[in-house]
Amino acid sequence: MALTDDFKWVMNAPFLKLLGLEAVSVESGRVVSRLTVREDHHQQNGYVHAGVVGTMADHTAGAASATVMEEGFMPLTIEFKVNLLRPAVGRALVCEANVLKAGKAVTVAESEVFAEDDNGEHKLVAKATVTLAVVPRR
């Protein structure tokens, strides 16, 4: 699935624009997103803030879920759990999200967030499980 005009609404949330989060690839049940790390993404110790990592994991999972929903419906997060596995340090974050179970009322997806270093190497920094309600699109 291409990043069509029909799908772009998912990745056009004002908060995502503020963070700089962008979709890189979109397939049925899978979305990859990327965020170029800026200084204002950091917390006091120079690592990417957990709120940035969590937002990326949550929204990318929601976007993956949107790819398998019937027209006229959208995902809305019910809950998410993020395991922060190591400090996020690097020039970018890349998130890969996949739908685990697509339901008529509830969908479950998972995300993995990787920190990308200057050599393009990726290290897993977080893993999330996201539960989303299937609601009428506003």
From the number of C-beta atoms within 10 Å of its C-beta (0-12, 13-18, 19+), residue 113 rates as buried
Residue 114 neighbours by CB under 8 Å, 6+ apart: 93, 94, 95, 96, 122, 123, 124, 125
Give how far Cα 117 sits from Cα of 4, 15, 133, Å.
30, 25, 35
**Rounded-to-integer distance, Cα 108 and Cα 8, Å:** 21
The answer to whether 98 and 112 have CB atoms below 8 angstroms apart is: no
Residue-level pLDDT, tens digit, the chain, 138 residues: 444 555 677 778 899 999 999 999 999 999 999 999 999 999 999 999 999 999 999 999 999 999 999 999 999 999 999 999 999 999 999 999 999 999 999 999 999 999 999 999 999 999 999 999 999 988
Name the 3-class secondary structure at 26: strand
